């Protein structure tokens, strides 16, 4: 992977206080990032990304697909923090409430509302400043690792 940015792309500034660069993500998420997260949270997940030009649609607004992918990963992170199990998305519902623009930090927080043996229910939101941009809820299948 290269550290070069495309022509005209913004540089990602230092993350908000308490956030660190996320690593060990899958190739899809790594390609869409960079993402940042807060460490040491056990009952919820908090993540963020700086909106770059490549995250935008033709109007200069953060693309709904980018916001949806961000929320999917954020909700899955909350499931892992609450259950210590990897999960896959069964259902994801996303409501778009406001716009996020290139050059803004998109912040997100999510929490599991209920976890059973095989599934977890989770809710979250992404926001810019004092405006909620997206609210999401999901159902995630809890995975058990196969013996090696």
Which CATH number does the domain housing residue 34 bear? 3.10.129.10
The answer as to whether 25 is a domain residue is yes
Task: With respect to residue 54, please indicate whether it lies within any of the assigned structural domains.
Answer: yes
Q: Specify the number of domains making up the chain.
A: 1
Domain-located, residue 5: no
**9-13, 51-55, 107-111, range with the lowest pLDDT:** 9-13
Would you call the peptide bond into 34 cis, given omega within 30 degrees of 0 as the criterion?
yes
- Name the residue among 33, 14, 15 with its Cα closest to residue 23: 33
Q: Cα(32)–Cα(10) distance, rounded to whole angstroms?
A: 15
In this structure, is residue 10 part of a structural domain?
no
Position 1 pLDDT exceeds 90 = no
Whole-prediction pTM value?
A: 0.89
pLDDT band at 40 (very low <50, low <70, confident <90, very high): confident
* Sign of the C-alpha dihedral computed for residues 29, 24, 4 and 33 taken in this order: positive
Please, how many CA atoms are within 13 Å of residue 86, restricted to the half-sphere of its CB? 6
pLDDT 10s digits, 78-125: 999 999 999 999 999 999 999 999 999 999 999 999 999 999 999 999
In a domain, 68, yes or no: yes
Query: Residue 102 belongs to what domain range?
Result: 19-142
Residue 148 lies in a domain: no
Structure tokens belonging to residue 27: 């190739």
Please give the radius of gyration of the chain, using alpha carbons only, rounded to the nearest integer.
Answer: 15
Does some domain include residue 136? Answer: yes
């Amino acid at each position: 992977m290269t550290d070069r940015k495309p022509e005209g792309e913004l540089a990602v500034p230092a993350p908000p206080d308490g956030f660190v660069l996320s690593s060990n993500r899958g190739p899809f998420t790594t390609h869409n990032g960079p993402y940042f997260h807060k460490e040491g949270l056990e009952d919820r997940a908090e993540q963020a990304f700086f909106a770059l030009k490549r995250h935008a649609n033709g109007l200069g607004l953060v693309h709904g697909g980018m916001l949806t992918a961000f929320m999917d990963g954020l909700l899955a992170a909350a499931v892992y923090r609450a259950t210590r199990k990897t999960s896959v998305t069964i259902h994801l519902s996303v409501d778009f409430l406001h716009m996020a623009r290139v050059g803004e930090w998109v912040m997100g927080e999510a929490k599991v509302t209920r976890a059973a043996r095989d599934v977890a229910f989770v809710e979250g939101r992404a926001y810019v400043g004092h405006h909620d941009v997206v609210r999401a809820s999901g159902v995630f299948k809890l995975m058990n690792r196969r013996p090696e």
